Amino acid sequence: GAVVSQHPSWVICKSGTSVKIECRSLDFQATTMFWYRQFPKQSLMLMATSNEGSKATYEQGVEKDKFLINHASLTLSTLTVTSAHPEDSSFYICSAHGPGQGPTDTQYFGPGTRLTVL
Amino acid sequence: GIQVEQSPPDLILQEGANSTLRCNFSDSVNNLQWFHQNPWGQLINLFYIPSGTKQNGRLSATTVATERYSLLYISSSQTTDSGVYFCAAVTTSGTYKYIFGTGTRLKVLA
């Protein structure tokens, strides 16, 4: 199956700083990628849909200015948490549909990035 | 929007036991998937099953789309089966996005 990678795997930062998380599709092109957030012992919540070459679509309640998404190429989407605060500490996961697949097909998930804001 | 509920929320099994996990969804779906989230957080695709029955080794899944539920069967459970199991649904209307269920936390004891 398709492989999605994320970097870094974990990051610790001070309150007020910005953190960038990368999501890459390996060996395939992904016109659409998805960003999820998961709090401890909770389910995954979709934050935004990242579209190559255009603006991301954010879910209701997700602050666009705080969670900046850039999908500049067909294999890379980035999520930047700006002015991070302790309440932003979470597990962030990205995903993409496999090569040649449509919006109702399988999504493949990255390994996740654990963010801790002190 | 669509609601996806899973049961039971927690399950403890002795190694070798069988179990059934349930996923109920409130609307028609285009896609229903089952995932296993391992202790490191990685989501592993188990089944893509919008309808019908599929089997893969000790795991099998059945989705009855007309009655809006899906079942995941685990037979002869092993300690490596421990983790959280999620189902996720994509609706037939509106934008296509995954709505994840509430999850079942499984612990298999040696």
Tell me, yes or no, if A83 comes closer than 8 A to chain B by beta carbon.
Answer: no
Q: Note whether A109 contacts B43, CB cutoff 8 Å.
A: yes
Cβ contact (<8 Å) for A109 and B30? Answer: no
- Asked whether A47 and A37 are in contact (CB, 8 A), the reply is yes
Place of tokens 């070798």: B16
Tell me the one-letter amino acid at A82: T
Mutation for A interface: B23, B95, B97, most A CBs within 10 A: B97
Q: How far is CA B10 from CA A5, A72, B67, B81, B103, in A?
A: 30, 41, 24, 14, 9
Chain A residues within 8 A of B30 when measuring between CB atoms:
104
Query: A39 to chain B: nearest residue by CA?
Result: B41
Q: Decide if B90 touches A, using CB distance below 8 A.
A: yes
In angstroms, how far is CA A78 from the centroid of its own chain? Answer: 7
CB contact under 8 A, B86 and A1: no
Report the mean per-residue pLDDT for chain A.
Answer: 92
Greater pLDDT, A51 or B107: B107
Per residue in B2-53, pLDDT (tens digit) is 899 999 999 999 999 999 999 999 988 888 999 999 988 999 999 999 999 9
Determine the Cα–Cα distance for residues B66 and B63; give it in Å rounded to an integer: 9
- CA neighbor of B60 nearest in space, from B20, B100, B30, B97: B20
If you measure CA to CA, which chain B residue comes closest to A33? Answer: B97
A44-88 pLDDT tens trace = 999 999 888 888 999 999 999 999 999 988 899 999 999 999 999
**What's the confidence (pLDDT) of residue B29?**
85
Q: Are B72 and B21 in contact (CB under 8 A)?
A: yes
Is-cis flag, bond preceding B8, omega within 30? yes
Residue B106 in contact with residue B22, Cβ under 8 Å? no
Q: Is B45–A91 a contact, with Cβ atoms under 8 angstroms apart?
A: no
